[in-house]
Every structure is written in structure tokens, then in C-alpha cells.
């Protein structure tokens, strides 16, 4: 009988995700009652400012935040089940997402980042569904509609529109009709905002997201806390290793799977660039970045089984625990 390594037992285990969910819930409770985090992103989204006064406060807000992350984790599983991105029926990508979120207490409060992350992962699901579809207008409309929703919350995500165009082109689903269907889907949330702003004579609510989009604060990494820098550095290190693995072993995947992984890789790189250019938006960008990171890291850990990858997996686990202790200490 072949003895499985720690890496294989964890990445293919059936009870890993339930264990991670219980662990993350315990961490959220501990953080809330011992070192409560009162954090918010610096995004001045008019739509978020509109709904924020109606949100419950205190512990109920944390429940909503956790449920949003739970839905993101669910869609990460559905993405893999529907499109076989990791070639295994696994939930390691969701486990990675949950554990990193739990180990970063600043991400626990409800903010635009976790709402935008849910919209973004649904948008990616529809975009992947359009692969080689001749009648892709409706699917791209849905994909770009959720991209528009996430951009309404965090306007800087409109910078991802060229990436979506490139993705649709590579998926062979971009044509004249689907292009304009996508544009209409992208604009639809803003049309609703315009209607509301015009009806209540607050037209500045409509053009403020575009003002935020065109306003670039000077690049200042000192706006990041040392814990945020350490977290970002840790994620970038693993992301680079997983990206190299994806490129080197890409020949083992189907062409379709390579296209999906390439899109997720490019999206992760674009979000990292955005984080470097606008580090003050760390709280909003990081949950979005983890969507790409979780798949790339899950693909690497699930499909490697040598001594080096096992040692790197153990290093990543220990590094995550050290990172959590440091984040908690720096609160």
C-alpha cells in the first residue's frame, strides 16, 4: 500500500473543506471577541454609501461578510466542477480561499471587497461558460453585468474590461453581437444608478465612480501596514511558483483548461499591478486577488506529488500560521 504524503492527504481529502470551515469560523469568533477589527476600505463608492446605512452593525455584519465569502467558496467549487480547471474533483481551491481570509482579520468586516468578489466570481463563471459558444451574446451579457455590478462597488475594476475582451476573444466567443451584448450588460448597473440619481436630484452619485476611476493617488507603499506587506509578499511568492508550474506543465492540460488558467493568471497579475499602483485599496483588492490565487495554488498543490512540492506545501502551511499570528499581533 502506497503511503500518501501530507500534501496528497490534504488536497484530496473529503473532510478537509468541512474542517477548514469549522477552523475559519472558530478563528472569526476568536478574533471578534478578543481583538475586534473595525476596518473599512477607503473606497468612496456612491452605491456602497447608499446601502451602508441600512446594514446591521456589530456581529450581524460579520455573519453577512462570512456568508458572502462562503458563496465565493461555493462558486470556486462549481467553477472546478463545471470546467475541470484542476483535473480533479477537489475543493482545495475553496479551502485555500477560506484559510487565507480567516488568517487576515482585516478582511473579516463587511466591505465592498467581499461583495465585489462574489460578483466577480459569478462573472468569471459566465465568461468561462461562453467558451466556443456560437450564440454567446446572452452569456457574455450575464458575465459583463456582474462585472458592472462589481465595478459599481469598486470602480477601479473597470480597468479589467480589456482583460475580459481578451478572454472572450481567446475563448472564441467574441463577435459583433456578443461584444455589444457585453457592453450593455456592463452599463446596465450604471443606468439604474443614473435613474436613481436623476429621480432624487443627486446626479453626482452617477458621475462620482468615474471621478474615482480617473483619480490616481500618488503611489505610496507606506499606506500599507507591515502585516499587509507581509501578507502580500507571501501570496506573491506562492502565486509565482504556482504560475511557473502552470506554464511548465500546461501541456498536460486540455487546450480549454489552459485558456481558463491563462485568464486566471492574467487577472491575478492585473490585480497585483492595481494593488501596487493603488495600495490604499488593499482591503478591496485582496479578496478579488485571492480568487485567482486560490485556483493557481490549488492547481499546483493538487497536481504535484514529489518530495519538493510536499516540503513546499508544509512550508506554506507553516508560513500561513506564522502570518496569522503576525496579523493578529499587529492588530
Residue 22 has pLDDT above 50, yes or no: yes
pLDDT in tens, 141-197: 999 999 999 998 888 899 999 999 999 999 999 999 999 999 999 999 989 888 888
What pLDDT is recorded for position 299?
92
- Going by C-beta distance under 8 Å and a sequence separation of 6 or more, which residues neighbour residue 177? 137
- The answer to whether the beta carbons of residues 72 and 113 sit under 8 Å apart is no
Q: Give the three cell numbers for residue 237.
A: 511568492
pLDDT in tens, 284-313: 899 999 999 999 999 999 888 888 889 999
* Distance from C-alpha of 202 to C-alpha of 199, rounded to nearest angstrom: 8
Confidence of residue 42 (pLDDT cuts 50, 70, 90): low
10 Å Cβ neighbour count for 161?
Answer: 16
Residue 214 has pLDDT above 70, yes or no: yes
Confidence of residue 3 (pLDDT cuts 50, 70, 90): low
Residue 209 has pLDDT above 60, yes or no: yes
Q: What is the CA radius of gyration of the chain?
A: 20
The dihedral over CA atoms of 260, 264, 270, 275, expressed in degrees to the nearest 10, equals 170
pLDDT in tens, 122-151: 999 999 999 999 889 999 999 999 999 999
Stretch 309-323: mean pLDDT: 92
| Furthest C-alpha separation in the chain | 73
What pLDDT is recorded for position 50?
75
Half-sphere exposure of 96 (CA within 13 A, CB side): 27
What pLDDT is recorded for position 297?
94
Residue 215 has pLDDT above 80, yes or no: no
Residue 216 has pLDDT above 80, yes or no: no
Question: Directed axis angle between helix 282-303 and helix 226-248, to 10°?
Answer: 40
Asked if residue 1 belongs to a domain, the reply is: no
Question: Which region, left, alpha or beta, applies to residue 201 given φ > 0 means left and ψ of -120 to 50 means alpha?
Answer: left
* Distance from C-alpha of 304 to C-alpha of 309, rounded to nearest angstrom: 6
Residue 103 has pLDDT above 50, yes or no: yes
Q: Give the three cell numbers for residue 268.
A: 491575478
Domain that holds residue 123: 6-329
Reported as type and span, the H/E element at residue 187 is: helix 176-199
- The answer to whether the beta carbons of residues 64 and 55 sit under 8 Å apart is yes
pLDDT in tens, 246-288: 999 888 888 999 999 999 999 999 999 999 888 888 998 999 9
Q: What total number of domains does the chain contain?
A: 1
What pLDDT is recorded for position 1?
41
Asked if residue 178 belongs to a domain, the reply is: yes
Polymer length in residues for the chain? 331
pLDDT in tens, 57-94: 777 888 999 999 999 999 999 999 999 898 877 889 99
Residue 44 has pLDDT above 80, yes or no: no
How distant is the alpha carbon of residue 310 from its chain centre?
A: 26
- Going by C-beta distance under 8 Å and a sequence separation of 6 or more, which residues neighbour residue 205? 46, 47, 50, 193, 196, 197
Asked if residue 46 belongs to a domain, the reply is: yes
pLDDT in tens, 221-245: 777 889 999 999 999 999 999 999 9
Q: Give the three cell numbers for residue 314.
A: 508544509
Q: Give the three cell numbers for residue 186.
A: 456592463
Q: Supply the DSSP string of 311-330, one letter for each residue.
A: HHHHHHHHHHHHHHHHHHHT
What pLDDT is recorded for position 6?
81
- The answer to whether the beta carbons of residues 280 and 223 sit under 8 Å apart is yes
- The answer to whether the beta carbons of residues 180 and 140 sit under 8 Å apart is no
The dihedral over CA atoms of 91, 173, 113, 191, expressed in degrees to the nearest 10, equals -150
pLDDT in tens, 145-156: 999 999 988 888
What pLDDT is recorded for position 183?
95
Kindly tell me the sign of the dihedral angle through the C-alpha atoms of 272, 316, 102, 119.
positive
Q: Supply the DSSP string of 131-160, one letter for each residue.
A: TT-SS-HHHHHHHHHHHHHHHHHSGGGGGG
Amino acid at each position: 500500500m502506497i503511503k500518501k504524503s501530507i500534501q496528497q492527504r490534504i488536497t484530496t481529502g473529503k473532510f478537509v473543506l468541512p474542517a477548514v470551515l469549522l477552523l475559519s469560523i472558530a478563528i472569526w469568533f476568536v478574533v471578534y471577541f478578543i481583538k475586534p477589527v473595525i476596518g473599512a476600505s477607503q473606497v468612496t463608492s456612491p452605491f456602497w454609501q447608499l446601502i451602508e446605512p441600512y446594514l446591521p452593525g456589530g456581529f450581524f455584519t460579520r455573519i453577512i461578510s462570512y456568508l458572502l465569502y462562503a458563496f465565493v467558496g461555493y462558486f470556486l467549487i462549481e467553477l472546478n466542477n463545471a470546467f475541470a480547471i484542476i483535473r480533479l474533483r477537489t475543493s482545495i481551491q475553496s479551502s485555500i480561499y477560506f484559510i487565507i481570509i480567516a488568517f487576515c482579520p482585516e478582511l473579516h468586516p463587511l466591505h465592498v471587497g467581499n461583495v465585489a468578489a462574489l460578483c466577480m466570481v459569478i462573472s468569471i463563471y459566465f465568461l468561462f461558460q461562453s467558451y466556443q459558444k456560437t450564440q454567446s451574446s446572452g452569456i457574455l451579457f450575464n458575465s459583463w453585468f456582474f462585472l458592472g455590478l462589481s465595478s459599481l462597488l469598486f470602480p477601479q475594476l473597470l480597468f479589467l474590461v480589456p482583460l475580459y475582451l481578451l478572454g472572450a476573444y481567446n475563448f472564441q466567443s467574441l463577435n459583433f453581437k456578443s461584444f455589444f451584448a457585453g457592453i450593455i450588460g456592463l452599463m446596465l448597473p450604471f443606468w439604474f444608478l443614473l435613474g436613481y440619481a436623476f429621480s432624487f436630484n443627486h446626479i453626482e452619485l452617477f458621475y462620482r465612480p468615474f471621478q474615482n476611476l480617473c483619480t490616481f493617488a500618488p503611489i505610496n507603499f507606506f499606506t500599507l501596514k507591515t502585516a499587509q506587506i507581509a501578507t502580500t509578499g507571501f501570496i506573491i511568492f506562492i502565486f509565482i511558483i504556482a504560475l511557473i508550474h502552470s506554464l511548465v506543465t500546461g501541456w498536460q492540460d486540455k487546450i480549454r483548461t489552459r485558456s481558463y488558467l491563462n485568464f486566471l493568471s492574467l487577472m491575478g497579475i492585473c490585480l497585483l499591478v492595481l494593488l501596487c499602483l493603488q495600495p490604499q485599496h488593499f482591503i478591496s483588492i485582496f479578496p478579488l486577488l485571492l480568487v485567482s490565487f486560490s485556483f493557481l495554488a490549488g492547481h499546483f498543490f493538487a497536481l504535484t506529488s514529489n518530495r519538493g512540492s510536499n516540503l513546499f506545501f508544509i512550508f506554506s502551511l507553516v508560513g500561513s500560521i506564522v502570518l496569522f499570528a503576525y496579523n493578529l499581533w499587529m492588530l
